[in-house]
Amino acid sequence: MLTVRFPSPLKSPFAANDTVWAHLALPRGPGPHPCILVLPVMAAPNIWIETRFINRFQQDGFAVLWLEMPYQFHRRPAPSQPSGQVFLARPPKRLAANFRQSVLDARRALAWLRRRPDIDSARIGIFGVSLGAIVGAAAYSVDSSPRYAVLLLGGADFPTLAAASTMTGPWLRRLGLSSAPLREAWRGIDPSDYSERNAGKPALLINVRGDTVIPAANALKLKEAFPDAKQVWLPLGHYSAIMHLLWLPGYVSRAFHGNLVKSR
C-alpha cells in the first residue's frame, strides 16, 4: 500500500491536522484501474470496518484510496487524543469548518487520483461510512469526477441530524444550542442544498431501521438530496449493523462493478 501526503486546502488551528494522509491500494494486473475513494467512520480508533470493504474492492479489481479525515489517526493534535474526537466536540462554526475541510480534502484526493496514469479517471466512485457517508455525499454533490457513490449509514440536513442524533444531540443540549446557528454555519455544504444538481446521479444509500445516530428522517433527507438514488433499508442499529459485514462488502462491490465497469 502506498501512503501519500498532501496539504489540506483549508487550514485549521492545529498544524498536524493540516497534512492529509491517504493510502492507495492497487489491484493485480495492469491499469488503468477503476478506483474507489473510501471515507471512513470518524470516531473509530481504527479502520477495521472499512478494511472489510477495501479488501473486497481490491480483490474485485478496484484501486482503493482511503483518506484519513480531519483529526483522525496521524492528524490528531496530540497522540493521546482519541481519533476524531476534536472533529465533533466543537462550536457550530468550528464544526462546520471541520466538515468543510473534510469535503475539500476529499476533492483534492479525487483530483490527485485523476492525474495518476494507473487510475481510470472516468471510473472513480466514492464509498463513505457514517460521517464518511455524509462527507462523501457532500463531495459527490459538488464534484463532477465521481461517477457513482455508495453511502452507508449516511444522512442529510446535518443541523437537524446533529440535534436528533444520540451522538451529538446531548452535546448540543449541554451547550444550550439549537439547530439554527448550525444551519447558518452549514449553508452550502449540505447535500440537501443540491437536490436539483444531484438529479440523475446514480447512488446506493444503505441505512438501518433502528439507527439512533443517523435518524431515519435524516436518512430519508439524503434520498431527497439524491432523487435518483436507490435506498436500501436493513434491520439492526447503527453499531449492531456490523453484523451485516458478513455479506455487505460483496454486495457493495457488485454495485460499484455494475456502475463503474459494466455500464461503460
Q: Which pLDDT score, from 0 to 100, does residue 4 have?
A: 96
Spatial separation of the C-alpha atoms in residues 130 and 208, rounded to whole Å: 11
Q: Which pLDDT score, from 0 to 100, does residue 172 have?
A: 73
Percentage of residues in the chain having pLDDT higher than 70: 97
What average pLDDT score do residues 108-135 get? 97
User: Looking at the DSSP assignment, which residues form a beta bridge with residue 211?
Assistant: none
Q: Which pLDDT score, from 0 to 100, does residue 43 have?
A: 79
Q: Which pLDDT score, from 0 to 100, does residue 246 have?
A: 96
175-232 pLDDT, tens per residue? 677 667 778 888 889 999 999 999 999 999 999 999 999 999 999 999 999 999 999 9
What CATH number corresponds to the domain at position 61?
Answer: 3.40.50.1820
Spatial separation of the C-alpha atoms in residues 224 and 236, rounded to whole Å: 23
Total domains present in the chain: 1
Q: Which pLDDT score, from 0 to 100, does residue 184 have?
A: 84
- Contact status, residue 191 vs residue 198, Cβ threshold 8 Å: yes
Asked, for residue 183, whether it belongs to a domain, the answer is no
Asked, for residue 184, whether it belongs to a domain, the answer is no
What does the angle CA 198 – CA 202 – CA 204 come to, to the nearest 5 degrees?
110
Q: Which pLDDT score, from 0 to 100, does residue 178 have?
A: 67
Asked, for residue 124, whether it belongs to a domain, the answer is yes
Q: Which pLDDT score, from 0 to 100, does residue 86 have?
A: 83
Q: Which pLDDT score, from 0 to 100, does residue 115 have?
A: 97
- Return the amino acid letter for 151: L
Cell of 191: 447535500
Asked, for residue 25, whether it belongs to a domain, the answer is yes
> Domain containing 65: what range?
2-153+230-261
Q: Which residue has the higher pLDDT, 4 or 162?
A: 4
Q: Which pLDDT score, from 0 to 100, does residue 203 have?
A: 98
What average pLDDT score do residues 222-248 get? 97
264 pLDDT band, cuts 50/70/90, is low
74-118 pLDDT, tens per residue? 999 998 888 887 887 667 788 889 999 999 999 999 999 999 999
